[in-house]
Amino acid sequence: MNIPFSIYDIFGYLISGLLLLFGLDYAFNLGWILNRELGAQAWTAWVLIAYLIGHVNAAWASWCIEKMIVGKTLGYPTKNLFSEKKAKGFSHYREPLDKNLASGIKKKFSQMTKTEFDLKGHYPFLFCYHQVKDRCPNAYARIGIFLNLYGFTRNLSFALTTLGLVFVASALITKNLGNLGIGISAFVGAMTFFYRYLKFFRLHAVEVFTSFLTSVDLDSNPLT
């Protein structure tokens, strides 16, 4: 029997959804799950609700963190990896590749596509990614690990940010200073996982480009 869920469904969606659900229940003493006797059907329903909440959280995390913060401020990995100089701020994420390595990747890309390596779009990354996917199963498996890790840490960072706001609001409404401390802890956790997200997001791109250079046969290009 094939299970219609992957390990990413658990770590990417369900965990963040459960975290938000339990956090909201605790912060405002809603009595949904905590301090209640729940049967199997009720638990199943709440797990499904948490899974759906996790998907909503992932959608907003993708837009807020990946598109707005990273895309418009820190830059996507491809742009940073092939930059001429190291940018200031978040240097661990924005560090360029070694010049010889970057030059080799650009040269091979140009030979295979007959086009320049243009950093303005996503074509270079997508081309290299699919070349590795189709021709290097071992490298593609490693890339999948980094994909799951950066998705998980991004979603968890956004969920913890949301929880931080929830507990701060709860502290102001209920005058419970303990909730304020939980909210601050949630913000610290969110920043920690944001840094982890940046690390894995960069490593994902590094693995794609280095695998393309070292593992894809130049003669196997389907465009020639």
For residue 64, give the DSSP letter. Answer: I
Q: Is the pLDDT of residue 222 over 90?
A: no
Domain boundaries, the chain: 7-220
- pLDDT given for residue 202 in this prediction: 97
Kind and range of the H or E run holding 171: helix 137-174
Alpha carbon separation from 223 to 67, 112, 116 (Å, rounded): 31, 7, 15
Return the structure tokens found at 176: 């419970």
Residues 6+ apart with CB under 8 A from 50: 14, 17, 18, 20, 21
Q: What is the tens place of the pLDDT at every residue in 162-173?
A: 999 999 999 999
Alpha-carbon span 215 to 213, nearest angstrom: 6
Interior CA angle at 50 toward 45 and 54, to 5°? 150
Among 51, 118, 136, residue whose Cα is nearest residue 78: 118
Band (pLDDT 50/70/90 cuts) for residue 1 is very low
Would you give the DSSP letter of residue 222? T
Q: What contacts 15, CB < 8 A, 6 or more positions away? A: 54, 152, 156
59: amino acid identity, one letter: A
Nearest to 213 by CA among 114, 137, 112: 112
pLDDT digits (tens, 9 = 90+) for 24-79: 999 999 999 998 888 999 999 999 999 999 999 999 999 999 999 999 999 999 99
Indicate whether this model's pTM tops 0.75: yes
What gap in Å lies between CA 203 and CA 105, rounded to an integer? 16
